[in-house]
Amino acid sequence: MIFIISDKDYEEIGPTAIVTAYPRIFTDIPYEKEIYHWLKSHCNENVILNKMLAPEIEARYKLINEILEKYKIKQVLELAAGYSSRGLVYSKKGYNYVELDLEKVSKNKKEILNVVEHNIPNNLNIISGNALRIDDFKNIESYLKEDEKIVVINEGLLRYLSFDEKKLVAQNIYEILSKYGGIWITSDVTPKKFIQSQNESLKNLNKDLSNITSRNNLNDRFEDEKHIRTFFGNIGFELVEIHKFSEIKDELYSINELGIVNDKIEQTLEDAIVVVMKVKK
Ligand SMILES: C[S@@+](CC[C@H](N)C(=O)[O-])C[C@H]1O[C@@H](n2cnc3c(N)ncnc32)[C@H](O)[C@@H]1O
Give the whole-angstrom CA distance, residue 90 versus residue 97. Answer: 7
Average pLDDT over residues 132-160: 96
**Contact between residue 224 and residue 191 where contact means Cβ atoms under 8 Å apart:** yes
Which atom of ligand 1 approaches the CA of 104 most closely? 25
Residue 27 Cβ inside 6 Å of ligand 1? The answer reads: no
Q: Flag whether pLDDT at 3 surpasses 80.
A: no
Residue 80 Cβ inside 6 Å of ligand 1? The answer reads: yes
Q: Which domains does the chain have, with CATH numbers?
A: 8-279 (3.40.50.150)
Query: From ligand 1's centre to the CA of 261, what distance in Å?
Result: 30
- For ligand 1, atom 2, the nearest C-alpha belongs to 17
pLDDT band at 247 (very low <50, low <70, confident <90, very high): very high
Average pLDDT over residues 1-18: 89
Query: From ligand 1's centre to the CA of 236, what distance in Å?
Result: 24
Residues 87, 93, 97: CA angle, nearest 5 degrees? 35
Residue 10 Cβ inside 6 Å of ligand 1? The answer reads: yes
Give the whole-angstrom CA distance, residue 253 versus residue 149. Answer: 32
pLDDT tens digits along 157-208:
999 999 999 999 999 999 999 999 999 999 999 888 888 888 888 888 888 8
**What pLDDT is stored for residue 261 in this prediction?**
82
**What pLDDT is stored for residue 208 in this prediction?**
83
Percent of the chain whose pLDDT exceeds 90: 81
**Which among 5, 156, 28 has a CA at the least distance from the CA of 83?**
156
Phi and psi, residue 204, nearest 5°: -100, 0
Residues 6 or more apart in contact with residue 222 via CB below 8 angstroms: 189, 190, 191, 192, 228, 231
**What pLDDT is stored for residue 1 in this prediction?**
65
